[in-house]
Structure 1
Amino acid sequence: MTKEYDIVVIGGGPAGTAVAGGLKAQGKSVLIVEADLWGGTCPNRGCDPKKILLSAVEAQQRAKNLQGHGLTGVPTVDWPALMTTKRGYTDGINDGTLSGLQGQKIATLHGQATFNADGTLQVGDETVSGTDYVIATGQRPTILPVEGQEYFKTSTDFLDLDTMPKRVTFVGGGYVGFELATIARAAGAEVHLIHHNDRPLKAFDTEHVQALMGQLTEQGITFDLNVDLQRITKQPDGLHLTAADGFDLTTDLVICSAGRQPNVDHLGLANVGVTVNRGGVQVNDHLQTANPHIYAIGDVSDTPVPKLTPVAGYEARYLVGELTQPAAAITYPVIPTEVYAEPKLAEVGITTAKASEDSARYQVNTLDMTHWFTYYRLQTPKALAKVVVDRQSGLVVGASFLSEIADEMINYVMTLIQQKVTLAELQKLIWAYPTPASDLQYLV
């Protein structure tokens, strides 16, 4: 017998649980289906555990910077203890999320969901039906199709290592590669990061990326650029990574950090007329697929915005409204993006590359903040900023930061951009001093 619901949500991560809870609060009958861990990638094996591990790295780096400036001795990372702390958080996510859903009286099923040709959904032996469906299955790490790809591990494996290997190599110079390489090096590993061309983190300001790589190189990370990895072989002395140009590197652990791909393989989307491309499930500006009764939100959807947990929550809140009282097309606020290396790299709004292409409209202010008081007191090795200003309005419309507190600064500037605060208005505000916020008036 087919069980029927108003809404069936596929995926129990941040996007799925948010939309399920919102719709339940609006009086809808809701079922949510999860094939893996309740809570999804971010809290279980993504941004949250990564930031817990990074906390030790940040503390260690602060201590290094202050050697000879008031501190003596640099702490070492106790990896087993740090991992215990991480697991103290992540071990409760699955059960806690499930308990929370059940507390809201939301029906749950655990298993792989697949659409049948008649539009119903199959989850193991259960057949269910919804007036509308929401796909929120997220993404997973991509594995490069090289010979010996079975030796690749992923970010999931790295974030749950019992011990840190002596030699760790990351293949792919995106967010994940830079962030996990930073953690591995701070924990004492010999670290290499391989990238297929000479432009890792291509979405970010070129000069800031180069400066970041310079600082990570000083910390001991080796960047192997323009290396197109072809083969991984296991030998007595370790894993050998080789490329056609004679590149040969021996390592103990190799992490594929070459991006992520949407979790759509087993959903049977062709059975219900839902189209997918490389970026994910195709949706319109109401987050609706080619099938009018099926929607997609979060990382699995092909939307023109970064794949971030706060974006997933934003889309979930929009869709709750769309499915209860249809409204206008979705519009997105300005969205900051960050690389949690050490130092951190962050940007928001109009990129410096786009501003340079339209110099008649935009002005780019380049700032070396290294000797500003905020960074002097921390003995930060390098603190850089680029701020994009609209020449006609005088509004800040974009920024890029490289520093240990770039994540804090980018949020301030995001607020200025979103609220359209002019320099004159900014200078009328009195900030707590001396703080990073009090530096805002000097950025333009």
Structure 2
Amino acid sequence: MEWEYDVVVIGTGTAGTDIAAHCRKAGKSVAIADYRRFGGTCALWGCIPKKVLGAAAEVVARAGDLHGKGIVGKAAIDWPALMAFEHTFTDPVPGSKEEYFRKTGIDAYHGRARFTGEQTVEVGGETLRGMHIVVATGAKPRPVHVPGADLMTTSSEFLYLQNLPKRIVFIGGGYISFEFAHVAARAGAEATILQRSGRVLKQFDPDLVDRLITASDEAGIAVRLNMPLKSIEQTDGGLLVRAGDAGEHTFEADMVVHGVGRVPETEGLDLAKGGIETDRKGIVVNEYLQSVSNSAVYVAGDANPTGIQLTPVATIDAHTVVDNILNGNTRKADYSLVPSAVFTVPALAAVGLSEEAAKKKGVEYDLHSGDMSSWYASRRIGLAHAVYKLLLEKETGRILGAHVLGDNAGEIINLFSLAIRQNLTADDLTYDTMLYAYPTSTYEITYMVKGKGS
């Protein structure tokens, strides 16, 4: 049977659901399809469950930091109980999505979608014809081509472990490895991060990253640089990881976690049958997130190779695609100011220009930087590692970039993101100009803009 729709969306994550909802609200007939549980990465295999685990890790870290400062005893994580709590967040998602689609008149299909023509996809034996088709299929772990790669545990699987192994090796020095290693270490596991190059968390300021590595080491996490993965072997005692240029370094583990990044999940879509051009990164799109070879097709969220794999970016992609479907190509994708955070303990966050980027662009700036560990917000919780950097335009004092390692770094960076978006200067954020609730972490922005600790 063949169905006619104004919009067919493939994927039920943040981007796919948003696009389906807004197009339906605008009076369009909409179908949505997914072969996985409805809900997408953020709700089921990413942000939400990750933050639930991270909250428990933070409690353990806080108790340890305040030991001898009024706190006695040791906090500990009951992993099965924590998993049960996590499930209270994730288990309701697929059903609620299904009910939402039903109530709003969005036709939902379960099964893998594949293109059968430029404006048709087949799902579960049914052909869906759409005036527009949106690929919002999310991402999958980047393929790793070494012997034993199939022995790795994915980040999705890690989030649903019924029992936490004692020895865990994380491959790759990005968000996934650091965030999960901080959870694992606080839950009592021996955590090791292996990074193929000499730098981890490359999207962030290297000085702040170095401080996070120190904090990680103190939490019992071993960060090993210049350790390219060579192989993983099954042994009687678990797994043996070989790393280094010649595989000369070995690490024993009970679990090896894939943390080397994710790529758009477009395999199996039969893109060629849809006349959809691809390159090594994925579907080739224009500035409107439209396929360059098939104008009926748009791409959004983690499936979009030109974007950044973050949930707020998926939302921006969704709004861009909706505007372009409803109004013609009127809105271009804009990733010029994207705040990001690594939810370790302490957290690391950034927005705007880095020193490296400013120098490459020839931007003249003043640098405010300093150690915040003695400031109230850090000292009251016993946080030993808290630092910041601000880049201010030399002539105007306009805020160009902000980098924070510390408590509530993600919340602080959101305010700096707003300040940059609104072209605010350092003077605009001082306590002479703006009132803050006190004492709070965000009040200390007033010290940062004045260059305290520089």
Fold in common (TM above 0.5): yes
Task: Tell me: CA distance 1:113–1:386, structure 2 relative to 1, closer, same or farther (3 Å).
Answer: same
What pairs up with 1:213-252 in 2 under 5 angstroms? 213-243=213-243, 244-252=246-254
Aligned position for 1:442 = 447
From 352, 355, 359, the equivalent of 2:358 is 355
Aligned pairs, number = 443
The letter for the 2-side match of 1:65 is: D
Report percent identity of matched pairs.
37
Residues 119, 132 of structure 2: 8 Å contact kept: no
SS at match of 2:182: helix
After superposition, give the CA deviation of every residue in 1:400-434 in whole Å (9 maximum; x if it has no partner).
11112211211111111111122232231111111
Residues 356, 362 of structure 1: 8 Å contact kept: no
Output the CA distance in 2 between the equivalents of 1:80 and 1:173.
27
After superposition, give the CA deviation of every residue in 1:166-190 in whole Å (9 maximum; x if it has no partner).
1111111111011111111111011
SS at match of 1:108: strand
Aligned position for 1:256 = 258
The letter for the 2-side match of 1:309 is: T
SS at match of 2:42: helix
Output the CA distance in 2 between the equivalents of 1:157 and 1:360.
44
What pairs up with 1:87-98 in 2 under 5 angstroms? 87-98=87-98
Aligned position for 1:322 = 324
Aligned position for 2:391 = 388
The letter for the 1-side match of 2:7 is: I
Report whether the alignment pairs 1:430 with 2:435: yes
Residues 355, 364 of structure 1: 8 Å contact kept: no
The Cα shift of 1:9 comes to 0.6
Aligned position for 1:131 = 131
SS at match of 2:314: helix
Report whether the alignment pairs 1:399 with 2:402: yes
What pairs up with 1:25-424 in 2 under 5 angstroms? 25-117=25-117, 119-243=119-243, 244-290=246-292, 291-303=294-306, 305-326=307-328, 327-332=330-335, 334-357=337-360, 361-424=364-427
RMSD: 1.5
The Cα shift of 1:210 comes to 1.0
Aligned position for 2:452 = none
Residues 230, 247 of structure 2: 8 Å contact kept: no
Task: Tell me: CA distance 1:221–1:3, structure 2 relative to 1, closer, same or farther (3 Å).
Answer: same
The Cα shift of 1:281 comes to 2.1
After superposition, give the CA deviation of every residue in 1:375-396 in whole Å (9 maximum; x if it has no partner).
1212211110010111122111
How does the TM-score come out when normalised to structure 2?
0.94
Decide which moves more: 60-69 or 267-276. Answer: 267-276
The Cα shift of 1:272 comes to 2.2
The letter for the 2-side match of 1:429 is: M
Output the CA distance in 1 between the equivalents of 2:439 and 2:208.
25
Q: Which runs of 5+ in 1 are unaligned?
A: none
Output the CA distance in 1 between the equivalents of 2:320 and 2:118.
28
The letter for the 1-side match of 2:423 is: K
The letter for the 1-side match of 2:265 is: N
Task: Tell me: CA distance 1:105–1:441, structure 2 relative to 1, closer, same or farther (3 Å).
Answer: same
The Cα shift of 1:277 comes to 3.0
The letter for the 2-side match of 1:421 is: L
Residues 306, 337 of structure 1: 8 Å contact kept: no
Residues 345, 406 of structure 1: 8 Å contact kept: yes
Q: Which runs of 5+ in 2 are unaligned?
A: 450-454
The Cα shift of 1:248 comes to 1.3
Residues 13, 39 of structure 1: 8 Å contact kept: yes
The Cα shift of 1:318 comes to 2.4
Residues 111, 123 of structure 1: 8 Å contact kept: yes
